[in-house]
Amino acid sequence: MLVSRVLSLAMIAAFAAAALASGLDRVSAQAPGLAGLVPVPFRAQADRSAAGTALDRKDNAAALASSRDAVATDPVDPDATAFLGSALMEVGRTQDAARTFRVAAQFGWRNVQTQAFWYDAALQAGDYGVAAERLDALLRVHTRLVDQTELLKPMESDPAAQKALAARLQLAPPWLPAYLRVDDDTPSDVIDRRLLVMAQLNASHVPIGCDTAAPFARTLLDDGRRHDAETVWNANCPNMKVAGLISDPTFAHVLDPNAKNPFSWRVMSSGNLSIGQGPSGGPPTLIVSNSAPGARLAFLQTVALPVGTYHFHANQGAGPASAGKLYISWACDTKPPFPDTSGADLLGSGQDIHVTECDRQQIGLWVAGGGAPVRLQSIALEKIG
């Protein structure tokens, strides 16, 4: 049961919330004159704490006894009633547990065990709309439970459940960023399930926004899932859709602090590099210089080029030729290596790059050393073999 799976997490929240009350309870035992100052609900805290400890230790008999005492002392306390419901579940009295959790729900939905019980009940009944509502309420109060993948798995593994969950995501709940915050350590099956839910969300044509979609798209890119990353990004950030083999070919997002396009160029900050905006009045232009003696990596982009040979060429715009030089290199599963600086540069006749089969491709733009500035307006490529 999902109730048991989240029970230990509920204990943490319950113990933290009750620490002060429990302390007052203990102090009043040593100083009888203070007993009248302790609110009535707090007098049951010792029983609730004992019930929580017993449940955590799987001591079902003690949990049942302590939770009954807690309810007897404070019948309207939602935590006490939820502890009793959990204890009844653990001893197999499911009907009694359901009746108890029904009472607990009348006291409010902020209790983890109560939410988890009715979430599980809705799942068992196949009522995914209610299950999504209960899960939403649970995660709004306890966002960290998003990390409990088994809790969300039932809603991510069935098409009807995915659709119901996506309907909740359309409301932009506060736990949505955490739900999409996956990383290299996230199991691939979890990412696959999140993608299925996102597909349902995308079908609703309700974008969640660039800021929310960016971390998920970035992880997909780094994981070699370029197609999935583009699908998520283009559906949820329509103003910065990805098109073509290179994203942001005009470098428009490089100096824009509000542009969080994970497909665009990443600036490789360095004390030797200087990157600024060119003169206004014409097409946007970057002015880049490198004071180091050797070439430095200035820009990095994740790509997904089909196998073949490509000719890259950079445009520096109108005006005198740049004094500096710009080079490109390509890599698979690692950062681009130091470029071949013996041949032509991108600002001159261009460079040829041979691309092999690879899921995690990156291209890097390198600026020659010596401090000579490079004027950069756009970059293009064409397949030549």
pLDDT 10s digits, 79-99: 777 787 777 778 888 787 778
Least confident span in 184-188, 281-285, 376-380: 281-285
For residue 274, the cross-strand partners are 289
Contacts of residue 243, defined as CB under 8 A and 6 or more positions apart, other chains included, come to none
For residue 34, the cross-strand partners are none
pLDDT score at 8: 47
Amino acid at 148: Q
pLDDT score at 249: 94
pLDDT score at 109: 67
Mean pLDDT of 269-292: 87
- Retrieve residue 17's tokens: 């919330």
**31 pLDDT more than 50:** no
In the chain, the largest separation of any two C-alpha atoms, in whole Å, equals 91
Q: Residue 355's pLDDT band (boundaries 50, 70, 90)? A: very high
Mean pLDDT of 19-38: 40
pLDDT score at 381: 96
pLDDT score at 112: 82
In this structure, the dihedral spanned by the alpha carbons of residues 156, 157, 160 and 165, taken in order and rounded to 10 degrees, is -10
Least confident span in 112-121, 181-190, 321-330: 112-121
Report d(CA 368, CA 295) in Å as an integer: 4
**380 pLDDT more than 70:** yes
β-pairing, 296-303 with 361-367?
antiparallel
196 touches 162 (CB < 8 A): yes
Q: Residue 34's pLDDT band (boundaries 50, 70, 90)? A: very low
pLDDT score at 150: 92
pTM: 0.76
pLDDT score at 284: 82
236 touches 212 (CB < 8 A): yes
Mean pLDDT of 302-325: 90
Mean pLDDT of 354-370: 94
pLDDT score at 44: 59
**73 pLDDT more than 80:** no
Who has greater pLDDT, 364 or 37? 364
139 touches 175 (CB < 8 A): yes
pLDDT score at 344: 77
β-pairing, 266-267 with 308-315?
unpaired
pLDDT score at 9: 47
Mean pLDDT of 36-40: 45
Percentage helix, strand, coil for the chain under 3-state DSSP, each rounded to 5: 50, 15, 35
pLDDT score at 177: 95
Calculate the CA 296 to chain-centre distance. Answer: 32
Q: How far apart are the first and last CA of the chain?
A: 58
Look at residue 223 and give its three-state secondary structure. Answer: coil
Question: 100, 77, 93, 73: which is closest to 1 by C-alpha?
Answer: 93
Least confident span in 178-182, 217-221, 314-318: 314-318
Question: 215, 122, 207: which is closest to 172 by C-alpha?
Answer: 207
- Retrieve residue 225's tokens: 């899932």
pLDDT score at 30: 41
Mean pLDDT of 221-239: 92
The number of helix segments (H) and strand segments (E) in the chain equals: 13, 10
Question: 118, 148, 142: which is closest to 130 by C-alpha?
Answer: 118
**235 pLDDT more than 60:** yes
Q: Residue 43's pLDDT band (boundaries 50, 70, 90)? A: low
pLDDT score at 42: 55
What is the share, in percent, of the chain residues with pLDDT greater than 70? 87
Who has greater pLDDT, 196 or 206? 196
350 touches 384 (CB < 8 A): no
**32 pLDDT more than 60:** no
**17 pLDDT more than 70:** no
- Retrieve residue 97's tokens: 């547990």
Query: What are the pLDDT digits (tens) for 146-173?
Result: 999 999 999 999 999 999 999 999 999 9
Look at residue 89 and give its three-state secondary structure. Answer: helix
